Chains A and B, each alone.
Chain A
């Protein structure tokens, strides 16, 4: 009989450190896990890919250098946005003024300014599609906060301007200068509070009846107020010279001209034609005289002289200031076209009242005239300067935090009168 084999003894599982250690495959260091292997490979691959990917951009292929720009350029420079060297001509150097002056003259600010700022110092590019000229206020207040320290022989009264607020910015017009134009102008009469009709003209007049904007002007400058366009309709009577009522109702008024000799000749010519048509008129006494003139020539000379005197001393003085007679001709003081700050030596009209700022009526066409020129309706004197006060600007330009608060919105750094033409 075969001996039955004893079954194998089942040994329970024992997890001891020796048994655990004996499981370790010593060759594992030579077979790193794929996680570690691929992490190491990627640590080399990604930088190489990055460098290779950046190469075309560095080379500027297809305008690739734009990728290195730290911001989009302004709209006016967008045409050469892909060509950085137009402005960044010198390597490892800031944009030089010479690069800007290839296109922009950029005349100096003031001759007595202590040092000029570089172009790029104020006009910061690469900030998106906005107007480069609207520089940050800090570029201006850098000097204007203490103008005396940043200029030589500073004559301006306002030497500490730090913002557009009543306590930081001077008032536009302080009442020192008056409007000295030799003309009698009364806004209040033309704009009465109660409506009425005078000389077939309905009052009050609207501002635009006299103050018309120039449609060809980009800033909507006002055209000069002239007698022919804006005053003759009501004030033609002020040109009538027939003091003795001999000419009749159809007599033409005297011309509105600066040449007194021409006016006198017109008067003389008118009476001459009357004599030629009706010689008997020479026998009529003139004025309070009871005796007629001895002859037609004497009558003509007296009528012309007395009519001219009547015209200049009674009629012209309605609006004009009278000057002493020269060479036998009574004259009035000449008035240039009514525009801006009156200057005796300026034949085309005056300078803008705002000497250091520019104003665009076109930009403000949505605002009613009276909303800014509040004193116009009550002004009865020519010398009244109707420049609005700063308070009328503050609601929109005070502290909105937007671009319209900026100094550059109204003030120009570059003296445009000294601008020279540039050519590309």
Chain B
């Protein structure tokens, strides 16, 4: 039987970090309330109970910071990374509660206040990140059917641009744009010919095809249609197939419906002979658009880590300083 909202069965919950965190939170609050009500000078961080909350919270903070280390060695025999991540989420919230109890729900001043702010930002960014990482992957699956590796996007965009150039040149011949190909090793590899003659032959064949394509149109259309296609391609389509398209081009091809409408319009003004090329260009543009969406979603999915991780390390250092100085004085 699944528990609504949490999407887990009861046995899973009983054995989960959520249960531990909930029990810990309840125990902490049960311990805090009588302490806060009976402490003559109110709850303070330096009292016995306050220090107890501090030590418990600090232990959880250290555990939280170990997640990065655990993920760096995924094969280590210290429990599953998924379990660690769940514990990181729930015990992190418990840690924030424990530190609030340690401070007596006071924000303090100086370093103490700075630590509270940092912890609040870190916790908030973590919660935001949790929500984003729950929602965005699903959304990405819906919106980006042509997903690729994030780090590959610049290279894929370049390849899409080259492909589009080649296809358009079937109608327009040489477009007058040249690109230098970077030295990259593709997963497709290079076809290896043992026979040097065969190797030369393959390269010559490709070069010959390229010469013919650039030399003269291979698909016959009217001259004005050819010029129109060339103009549309160079001014509107090709600038979109770059690493950072301008705002105009982003808006022109901002949605799937916009891409479809644009190419539908081209199909009405260009002859039927060019429609195959137009359909392929539409496919390329749509793929480029989806890569832009993927890039944006990726930033949302991982950008919160910029606040979460570095601030956590800074927080850890300052917390150690706070602990030592507070105990010293």
Contact = CB atoms under 8 A, between A and B. Distances in A.
A373 to B, nearest CB: 35
A42 interface: yes
A25 B181 CA distance: 13
A86 to B, nearest CB: 11
Contact of B316 (A47, A57, A139): A47
Given A25-B185, A70-B326, A43 B109 contact: no
A287 interface: no
A210 interface: no
Interface stretch (A12-20, A221-229, A342-350, A392-400): A12-20
Contacts of B189: 22
B125 interface: no
Given A8-B218, A23-B156, A26-B187, A35 B302 contact: yes
Nearest to B38: A138
A107 B149 CA distance: 76
A7 B111 contact: no
Given A8-B170, A20-B148, A26-B186, A92 B327 contact: yes
Interface string B275-301: 011011001100100000000000100
Contacts of A238: none
Interface in B112-146: 112, 146
Nearest to B188: A22
A10 B41 contact: no
Contacts of A32: 151
B167 interface: yes
Interface of B: 38-42, 44-46, 108-112, 146, 148-152, 155-156, 159, 163, 167, 170, 184-189, 209, 212-213, 218-220, 276-277, 279-280, 283-284, 287, 299, 302-303, 305-306, 309-311, 313-314, 316-318, 321-322, 325-329
B185 A139 contact: no
A23 B111 contact: no
Contact of B185 (A26, A46, A92): A26
B111 A8 contact: no
Nearest to B183: A27
Interface stretch (A48-56, A174-182, A270-278): A48-56
B280 A12 contact: yes
B187 A24 contact: yes
A142 interface: yes
B111 A54 contact: yes
A46 B310 contact: yes
A8 B187 contact: no
Contacts of B186: 22-26
B299 to A, nearest CB: 8
Contact of A71 (B108, B188, B329): B108
Nearest to B170: A10
A7 B218 contact: yes
Given A47-B314, A68-B110, A71-B108, A23 B185 contact: no
B135 to A, nearest CB: 20
Contacts of A23: 148, 152, 155-156, 159, 186-188
Interface string A27-46: 11001110100110011111
Interface in A119-168: 121-122, 124, 127, 135-136, 138-139, 142
Nearest to B185: A26
26 contacts: A5-B212, A7-B218, A18-B188, A21-B188, A23-B186, A24-B148, A24-B186, A26-B185, A26-B187, A42-B306, A47-B313, A54-B111, A54-B318, A58-B325, A65-B325, A68-B110, A68-B329, A69-B109, A69-B110, A70-B44, A70-B45, A70-B112, A71-B108, A88-B328, A92-B327, A139-B40
A72 interface: yes
A403 B322 CA distance: 32
A390 B303 CA distance: 65
- Chain A at the B interface: SS class: helix
A103 interface: no
Nearest to B281: A13
Contacts of A369: none
B302 A22 contact: no
Contacts of B314: 46-47, 49-50
Contact of B283 (A10, A15, A28, A121): A15
Given A50-B317, A68-B326, A88-B328, 15 more contacts: A7-B219, A10-B277, A15-B146, A15-B283, A20-B148, A24-B186, A25-B187, A26-B184, A33-B150, A45-B310, A69-B109, A70-B44, A92-B327, A122-B41, A135-B41
Nearest to B298: A35
A362 interface: no
Interface in A350-385: none
A91 B329 CA distance: 6
A42 B276 contact: no
A72 B209 CA distance: 81
Given A8-B212, A43-B310, A71-B109, A24 B325 contact: no
